Amino acid sequence: MLASLNLHGIGPAQNLDMQLGQRVNLFTGDNGLGKSFILECAWWALSGHWPGLPAFPRDAAGQSDPEIRYEVTDATGKLYSGLSLYDWESQEWSSPSDRPNIPGLLIYARMDGAFAIWDPTRNQQTSSKASSFAPLAFTQSDIWDGLRDEEAGKTTYLSNGLIADWIHWQNGPNEEPFRTLKNVLLRLSPPGIERGDMGRLEPGAPQRLPRDSRLIPTIRHSYGQVPVVYASAGVRRILALAYLIVWAWEEHKTQSRLIRKAPQKRMVILIDEIEAHLHPQWQRTILPALLDVWKDLAQDLQIQLLIATHSPLVMASMEPFFDDSGDKIFHLDVAQSSQSGTEVVVQEQDFVKYGSVDSWLRSDVFELAQARSLQAEKAIEDARRLQEAEVVTKENVIEVSDRLIKYLAANDGFWSRWLYFADRHGVDL
């Protein structure tokens, strides 16, 4: 697992230093401040490969020495300290020659719908050097239709894809993979079955579709069965996540048997914007569900989560489950600097139970002045300034009142304070 990540001379800041928690790590902050970038660098530290474009130094003139320092747990449970330097001549990052095989599965759900998976058993079959093994990179179509490698006229089938594997597991003689998939889908399902909403992600009977010779998996909704290829964006993303977690684990067990090794007991899951496409009801349950997904795979499996989010509902969902001994929050923000004016900083924050989503939005994590529209916020700010003014005219009160009526809900808590003020200045609302 990833214990620390220290970035120098790359990304949105000159220095970003993080001591990570062994269970859940949440990354918050405004757009463009580096949440996705941190996940990309974390993947590099764990796998030795970039999932997309490699990090590029901040100083293109080459005056600084960009570096990535990290600590990961090796196969013996000890910390391995790694250092990757940027080679300006080759435009590449170095990979330490003594880098150990990371003892565990890595699963990275990227924001664009792509996934990456790293399995140490595949590495052991290929080479003793971790740097020679590339993770499996899945595009959205690869997830559904399979991943193949074409080299020297030979095709290697790396993954059959969700559609083929689902049908094979559902109809095959070995019931365990499909049972695991059903359990993971149930765990990651949205709430709301009691209200007649979409409810649980429960597999239905496979169907044929026009102009497609394959059997297509289906999901049972409250209103009928839906082929997975026609599922909504949110459902498809969770189906892909559930499938790849199960597929990676089942494939890992199979490959481990082939090389006469026991399966690994660790898994790291990285998810960029975990709330993407999910209804607020689902946002409240998805992260706690992921915390327990190991129970559906193996009783001795340890999972570390690195999660980037913009959702106050995701943060609120952790209130009953946050554990200071293994969980951490990192907030990226812009701070004043005497040298460069402003710079991005990453701050490890204490977890505070704010309760309501409104309070989370106004917290240091999301930094909204008010949990209202911008127009309502501006109207209330003007109203408060008017309440504190020494000279107040009836026309001033009417003008602000008209905007409050336009932008505030009838039951907004600010009305009780304003109605008394307006009445004192001869304005009847």
Order of all β-strands in the sheet with 79-87 = 13-19, 2-10, 67-73, 79-87, 92-93
Q: What is the pTM of this model?
A: 0.91
Q: Measuring CA to CA, how many Å separate 320 from each of 68, 257, 290, 323, 412?
A: 35, 39, 14, 9, 29
**Cβ-count burial of 226 within 10 angstroms (0-12 exposed, 13-18 middle, 19+ buried)?**
middle
Boundaries of every domain in the chain: 2-361, 374-424
Cα(301)–Cα(262) distance, rounded to whole angstroms?
12
In the three-class reduction of DSSP (H, G, I as helix; E, B as strand; rest coil), residue 321 is classed as coil
pLDDT of residue 161: 95
Enter the tokens of residue 28: 């918050």
Enter the tokens of residue 68: 């990535």
User: Which pairs count as long-range contacts for 253-261, CB under 8 Å and 24+ apart, including other chains?
Assistant: 255/119, 255/121, 255/122, 255/125, 256/121, 258/121, 258/125, 259/121, 259/124, 259/125, 261/121, 261/124
The tens-digit pLDDT sequence of the chain (429 residues) is 899 999 998 988 888 999 999 999 999 999 999 999 999 999 999 988 898 889 988 775 555 789 999 999 876 778 889 999 998 888 889 887 777 667 789 999 999 999 999 998 876 554 444 444 678 999 999 999 999 888 767 888 889 999 999 999 999 999 999 999 999 999 999 986 555 566 789 999 999 999 999 999 999 988 889 999 999 999 999 999 999 999 999 999 998 898 888 888 899 999 999 999 999 999 999 999 999 999 999 999 999 999 999 999 999 999 999 999 999 999 999 887 656 667 889 999 999 999 999 999 999 999 888 889 999 999 999 999 999 999 999 999 999 999 999 999 999 999 999 999 999 999 998
**Cβ-count burial of 158 within 10 angstroms (0-12 exposed, 13-18 middle, 19+ buried)?**
middle
pLDDT of residue 340: 61
Cα(111)–Cα(89) distance, rounded to whole angstroms?
31
Which CATH superfamily groups domain 2-361? Answer: P-loop containing nucleotide triphosphate hydrolases (3.40.50.300)
Per-residue b or e along 241-267, where b marks 16 or more CB atoms closer than 10 Å to that residue's CB: bbbbbbbbbbbbbebbeeeeeebbebb
